[in-house]
Amino acid sequence: MRTLLTGGAVFVKDRPDLLGGGDVLVDGTKIAAVGRLTDEPADKVIDTTGCLVLPGLVNTHQHDWYIYGKGLGGSMLLEQWITDCLFPLKSSLTVDDLRLASEVSSLDMLRGGTTTAVNHQVNETTAADEDAILRPAAETGIRQFFGKVIRPKDILDDYLSARACHETWDGQAGGRVRVGFVLEATAHWVHMGTSSEEMIVGGHKLAVEKDTFVSSHIAGGTLSRDSGYLKFVLETGRTDPQFLHRIGVLDDRWILAHTIYPRDNDMDLIAAAGSTVAHTPSSEAARGGGITPVKTMLSNGIRVAIGTDGPMVDLTNDMIEQLKWTRLMQNQVHLDADSIPLEHLIAMGTAEGARAVRAENLFGTLEVGKAADIAVFDLMTLHAGPVHNPLSTFVHAARGRDAKHVMVEGDLLIEDGRFTRVDDLYITELLRQAGDRGRALARRAGLAE
């Protein structure tokens, strides 16, 4: 089937003229042509006038089951939130909780124009857990890059489990499901016994063998001498990036989530390794974590992508919010109204995310031959219009709910703002179940009231 998206502002690197109006032709699962197209035969024509057409957003750091913790944790700083909120909830999850959360989170992200997400696990998963997470996600049509946890406690069993997960799921759903590994390396996790040098080296070796990504929380939390990241830096005499560099594993496979507090030569090490920082600005602000020096990182040659972290932290999966927060916070820190150029900022939410999961040749830009992962955002709204600069309007005034059409591999999953695979009654029932499960989970974890 050939689908023509016509008349919208089209975001293509090095083609600013297309922001004045352009077209994208999709043939089957691939992008067949981009530009100002005339007389192109198409089975379906979608008028995108008044809209911004861009690659589907790529969320490089997300925890799907966090939907159940929205609003819990109150005013806790990160370190207390981890021990008093996250861990009790994590230990009380059921397989059915994971199944429902996966579907709701995937639909939520698709509705906001996110076509790819890295689901970074903080909990150990069995084969049954992985089926509960990945099967419903695949059925929604989203791309999921699943981060399988490896832990040091039963390390040999975890290596076998990680290998089995990769062999079972990597490449499923026509390649929309991919599997990488979570190797927690930040000082907090080492202190809690959930990381070790042996585990990281062995897990990284497996990632190299499978040619996949590695995700890890790095240099985050508060900069407290009593319980925060600084405490562990002073005790160990090294930073998280220095640790990874010293044991010989820091390379371009790593997605370094947060990285709020790079110190000493950290930025040089990250840049030289080609690792990607996954920046989650509203999450970091919600827990009093600080402001990641994104502008300085970019100036230092570090690749930075964008993530949402999960709604238990900041109550949102909206990637546009993250783009806006990223730019405004860097503007404020640097007293610069153009701290991150809009074109690069949007690339951080698209192309850089694709590169982080080692899929830059597959999606992330609107190029002929790439997968038709496309999001069309309506800018003709009361809260966004009138439009002078579509990129500025998108970043500063649009919302995730403005996604009008969303495609993954040419499959139109959102059309005119509505799901094509499920109806409103189905969504309402999902949300009712999610509410019931969230409250029951909070009670089991001792966090209700």
**pLDDT digits 0-9 by tens, 375-385:** 999 999 999 99
Least confident of 32-36, 77-81, 162-166, 268-272: 77-81
pLDDT at 227: 80
Query: 276: closest CA among 342, 359, 335, 338?
Result: 359
Least confident of 56-60, 192-196, 329-333: 192-196
Reported in sequence order, the residue ranges of 143-288 that DSSP labels E, i.e. its strands, are 143-149, 177-182, 214-218, 254-258, 276-279
Q: Are 5 and 53 in contact (CB under 8 A)?
A: yes
Q: What is the DSSP letter of 38?
A: -
Q: How far is CA 43 from CA 3, 5, 21, 323, 414, in A?
A: 6, 11, 21, 34, 18
CA gap 30, 157 in Å, rounded: 40
Q: Are 216 and 257 in contact (CB under 8 A)?
A: yes
| Tokens 């000493």, located at residue | 264
Evaluate if residue 37 carries a pLDDT over 90.
yes
Counting residues of the chain whose pLDDT is more than 90, the rounded percentage is 86
pLDDT band at 46 (very low <50, low <70, confident <90, very high): very high
Evaluate if residue 102 carries a pLDDT over 80.
yes
pLDDT band at 225 (very low <50, low <70, confident <90, very high): confident
Same fold, 2-55+370-419 and 57-356: no
Q: Are 52 and 12 in contact (CB under 8 A)?
A: no
- Centre a 10 Å sphere on the Cβ of residue 56 and count the other Cβ atoms it contains: 32
According to DSSP, the residues that pair with 366 across neighbouring strands are none
- What are the structure tokens assigned to 170, written together? 């990597």
* Torsion angle, alpha carbons of 337, 282, 114, 112, to 10: -90
The stretch 118-138 carries a mean pLDDT of 97
Mean pLDDT of the chain: 95
Q: How far is CA 121 from CA 126, 149, 271, 339, 385, in A?
A: 12, 6, 25, 32, 39
pLDDT, one tens digit per residue, over 250-281 is 999 999 999 999 999 999 999 999 999 999 99
pLDDT band at 302 (very low <50, low <70, confident <90, very high): very high
Give the three-class secondary structure for 260: coil
pLDDT at 449: 63
CA gap 73, 61 in Å, rounded: 20
pLDDT band at 209 (very low <50, low <70, confident <90, very high): very high
CATH topology of domain 57-356: TIM Barrel (3.20.20)
pLDDT, one tens digit per residue, over 341-365 is 999 999 999 999 999 999 999 999 9
Q: Are 153 and 119 in contact (CB under 8 A)?
A: no
Evaluate if residue 426 carries a pLDDT over 90.
yes
The stretch 388-408 carries a mean pLDDT of 98
According to DSSP, the residues that pair with 374 across neighbouring strands are 55, 407
The stretch 178-205 carries a mean pLDDT of 90
The stretch 21-41 carries a mean pLDDT of 95
Least confident of 229-233, 327-331, 366-370, 406-410: 229-233
Least confident of 187-196, 231-240, 372-381, 400-409: 187-196
- CATH number assigned to the domain with residue range 2-55+370-419, chosen from the 4 options 2.40.100.10, 3.40.1280.10, 2.60.120.10, 2.30.40.10: 2.30.40.10
- What are the structure tokens assigned to 235, written together? 């005790």
Counting residues of the chain whose pLDDT is more than 70, the rounded percentage is 100
Evaluate if residue 287 carries a pLDDT over 90.
no
CB neighbours of 201 closer than 8 A, spacing ≥ 6? Answer: 247, 248, 249
Query: 185: closest CA among 200, 198, 203?
Result: 200
Is-above-0.85 flag for pTM?
A: yes
Domain range list for the chain:
2-55+370-419, 57-356
Query: 306: closest CA among 281, 340, 328?
Result: 281
pLDDT at 448: 80
CA gap 236, 241 in Å, rounded: 13
Question: What's at 39, amino acid-wise?
Answer: D
Pairing of strands 177-182, 303-306: unpaired
pLDDT at 232: 85
Highest mean pLDDT of the ranges 84-88, 110-114, 218-222 = 110-114
pLDDT, one tens digit per residue, over 318-332 is 999 999 999 999 999
Residue 150 half-sphere exposure toward CB, CA atoms < 13 A: 33
